[in-house]
Amino acid sequence: MNLKILFICLFVSTVIQAQNHKYLNADTRLYNETDENEGFKGYFKVNAQVEVLSAQITDWTFVRADNDTKGYVQSKYLSDKPISSQNTVEDNDNPILNGDKYYGGHHLFVTVASLRARGKPSLSGEIKTILTMGEAVPVKYIPIEKDAWVNISNSRYIQRKYLNERPDYDALALTYANIEKHNFDERLKIAERLVELAWNSGYAYLKSAYLVLLDVAKETHNTALIKSTQMYLTLADGLEHPLPPEIVTEFIKNANFKIKGVQINKLMVDLNTVIDTYGQPLKIENISDECGVNYSNTFYNYKNMTLSVNLEENLGEIVEIILDENSAFIMNENSILDHTMTETRFIELYSKYIHTDIQNLHTYAISNGYGDYSVAFKNGKIYSVAIFNLC
């Protein structure tokens, strides 16, 4: 009986929650009062979701936007479900952008470097992620107050003043050029923005951005920044002039691992040999695989490797190897990565074979035709190699 009551309560709660949330069927605004002449707090894009806080018995409804701001919308714009927005009349003053080549839905762009997105609309909120200059973020409601907070999905919030249209690289470069030579702090700030914006613009601007950053590093005698920037200049050159895909896949087609005490045949290992050598796994997980690309849904996690195992066949497929003195990644007979490989040397050798992005710096993917080998570095040294198969 208690279980039955619990199910009923959960069902009722779900129904009430659905009734309390509506979608806006047009671009509209969040008003201060039930009067368009009394001013407004922000802009909604079509299909933005709101929480209804009062009964819909008049021409206006009291609602809460996704950033917790409360106000009024005209009731005629509320719908029970999203609508097709192709023929919707837009608010020409609404600053939220429609889909473009950078983002498919309603969005705006980050206009500063290394912006902290927080878990609640407050500077005291937990830092959830770091956003980069020129990064597109989803936006359905935007307040007009510059210091107000914007929900950019998944309960991540940033302040309105850091969002706008896409920054222009050339304009930002001109800003840098006009900064006085002795103003090192401002020059460094703009140089960092140029680098992040370049990453978010494809690879064409990367070299020029890192050359600007290198100038600042040399002017301030920052040896660590000089070293890392020189490494990224080499990476930028490789990313801008990659080898043809067929050459890369030929280079990596016979890749394999070497693990002390374990015979490996085309990324497969004998499970008994692994257990005899390394003991029972530290953790066993069952991970669903909707694409069917994994050997099995059962994963054995060891300190130095992860295997997808088939107990009936007594075999395991390598998913990830933590490279140490007992292991190596053999890309081909002339290109072997072991635990002594540095990130700088790896980039010098293989920058034209790899691809990466600003969200995955220090991790480099090498395409094998059906997925990627992902090579990760920590503190300048190689850490792991993982295998990702395409769905």
Q: How far apart are CA 244 and CA 267, in angstroms?
A: 25
pLDDT at 86: 64
pLDDT at 4: 45
The three-state secondary structure class of 172 is helix
61 near 78, Cβ under 8 Å? yes
The whole-chain average pLDDT of the chain stands at 91
Query: Which of 73-87, 350-364, 373-387 shows the lowest per-residue confidence on average (mean pLDDT)?
Result: 73-87
Give burial (CB, 10 Å; 0-12/13-18/19+) of 73: buried
What value, to the nearest 5°, has the Cα angle with vertex 290 and ends 287 and 293? 85
Strand order in the sheet with 149-151: 127-131, 115-118, 157-159, 149-151
Q: For residue 118, which phi and psi values (nearest 5 degrees)?
A: -110, 160
DSSP β-bridge partners for residue 233: none
Give the helix ranges, DSSP H, for 200-244: 206-219, 223-240
Q: How far apart are CA 224 and CA 214, in angstroms?
A: 11
Q: Structure pTM?
A: 0.86
pLDDT at 90: 85
Q: Which of 255, 249, 261, 234 is nearest to 335 (CA)?
A: 255
142 near 43, Cβ under 8 Å? yes
347 near 267, Cβ under 8 Å? no
Amino acid letter, 208:
S
Query: Which of 86-95, 154-163, 192-201 shows the lowest per-residue confidence on average (mean pLDDT)?
Result: 86-95
- Structure-token pair, residue 140: 């359905």
The per-residue pLDDT for range 282-304, each reduced to its tens digit, is: 999 988 877 777 888 899 999 99
Q: How far apart are CA 61 and CA 53, in angstroms?
A: 8
Work out the average pLDDT over 363-372.
94
For residue 12, pLDDT beyond 70:
no
**Does an H or E element contain 352, and which?**
none
User: pLDDT band for position 14 (50/70/90)?
Assistant: very low
Q: Which of 28, 27, 46, 51 is nearest to 84 (CA)?
A: 46
DSSP β-bridge partners for residue 374: 365, 386
Work out the average pLDDT over 63-87.
90
For residue 7, pLDDT beyond 60:
no
Work out the average pLDDT over 314-325.
94
- Structure-token pair, residue 116: 């902290």
Cα 292 to Cα 23, 360, 370, distances in angstroms: 36, 25, 13
Q: Which of 124, 307, 113, 140 is nearest to 199 (CA)?
A: 113
Phi-psi label, residue 372: left if phi above 0, alpha if psi -120 to 50, beta otherwise? beta
Q: What share of the chain is helix, strand, coil (3-state, %, to 5)?
A: 30, 30, 40
Q: Name the one residue in this structure whose structure tokens are 């819909």.
A: 56
Q: How far apart are CA 320 and CA 389, in angstroms?
A: 12
- Structure-token pair, residue 79: 């719908």
Q: Which of 308, 336, 339, 305 is nearest to 322 (CA)?
A: 305
The per-residue pLDDT for range 223-274, each reduced to its tens digit, is: 999 999 999 999 999 999 999 999 999 999 999 999 999 989 889 999 999 9
Cα 167 to Cα 28, 108, 114, 163, 294, distances in angstroms: 26, 10, 15, 10, 41
